[in-house]
A and B are shown apart, each in its own frame.
Chain A
Amino acid sequence: MNKLKNSASEALEGILFDGMTIMAGGFGLCGIPEYLITALRDSGVKDISVISNNCGIDDFGLGILLHTRQIKKMVSSYVGGNKTFEQQYMKGELELEFNPQGTLAERCRAGGAGIAGFYTKTGVGTVIAEGKEHKEFNGETYILETGLVADLSLVKAWKADDEGNLVYRKTARNFNPVMATAGKTTIAEVEEYVSLGDFDPDHIHTPGIYVNGFIVGTDHKKPIEIMTTREYVA
């Protein structure tokens, strides 16, 4: 079976429904599935709960789903730098669940690995710990966090082969591999399509078992949020 789909809308056909939970990979605007997010917007699916480290910026990434008011709830670790988000949240139009970044990553990893919950020291003594089970191990206090699964995971990789094996590039990897494992359905978006056998099997980051389909985007915009450079010294 070739998992390559012709377009983002074809890849999402029959999968979307109102009120669903969607994981989206990326850190800031780095390694986000930009074509799949646009297809989500165009589908009109609404009341979605989105699990993603951030919520894009005002006019790119997941931020575009705020303008169309398709997002009901965000589960994120950091949402700074997005005015639309702030406005909708302050008006009570948007639910927000903050998770510490490592806890969020581990909840996805656990969910994908069939682990119902895990104990972590992160957040002990803070608002994050409120209402959660506390337990002592070796004299230290930990809190119980639960695994996360999503109806759909949208991830961004660098390359895919027909089997849906994925390879990521540099820090665009971030949440993508763990989210790929935690979707009941996972759709990937890549920059390059390679033939079976082109990947060294030792170098595959996400085995194709986690990937139901993928699309090849052309001319990814990949905007840079904060451009920082140094000068050549003569």
Chain B
Amino acid sequence: MRDNIISEKDVMQNQTAHPAKIAARNVQVYYGDTHAIKDVNVDIEANTVTAFIGPSGCGKSTFLRCINRMNDTIDVCRVEGDIRIDGEDIYDRKVDPVQLRAKVGMVFQKPNPFPKSIYDNVAYGPRIHGLARNKAELDDIVEKALRRGAIWNEVKDRLHAPGTGLSGGQQQRLCIARAVATEPEVLLMDEPCSALDPIATAQVEELIDELRQSYSVVIVTHSMQQAARVSQKTAFFHLGNLVEFGETDKIFTAPEDPRTESYITGRIG
């Protein structure tokens, strides 16, 4: 018995030692008859920020939502292929998407705090997953999450004020705090700054860079400057294909594919 546990642990360690946190192979996504994602292969590393860029409708958000199976909520959507997190197939029949989403947090395009207090917004995840045994522990988790969301100092005096009363940028950082409160390993961000002004955007970007220490962050963005600023790896999607994937510096300075070059230089998109 004991040996088994140890060997399992070894396997785990081997897997986490593997650079790819998320490995996608031959992923196809269909919306009804539309083939939205075509044969995408990508390896996303731990403790890196990976940016997905590309013109509207290229499938980058769709692919992002495959990673925590948010596409399951769309009836007509069908995913084929293989996405593994730490070597485990997340589309395996035994995987409960609810458990997966606790491990893979998500921040959405529009800040969407619950119409509850700031405290309850952050405490909701830990509560439903039973992460805190008592009120004091929950308080700690909430404080830690709000600190990580770089919003603690602004809201610590009004934790019981409604989350919807914050400014747009604060709301988005609150949503990030809410997402990290459940201790995820991967953080997916779907255009997190598109509804924010430049100052709020700068704050969120700074935060993303800090979050890299603890999480593997995947961010979809329309802004190439943002991708260049925050990410280490960049993937360029075009018409459902992953055209190019590599180090951000390289994508922006010496793209291999002519389509990437056209997009980056502003000729398409």
Q: Do A and B bind each other?
A: no
- Using a CB–CB cutoff of 8 Å, the interface residues on chain A facing chain B are none
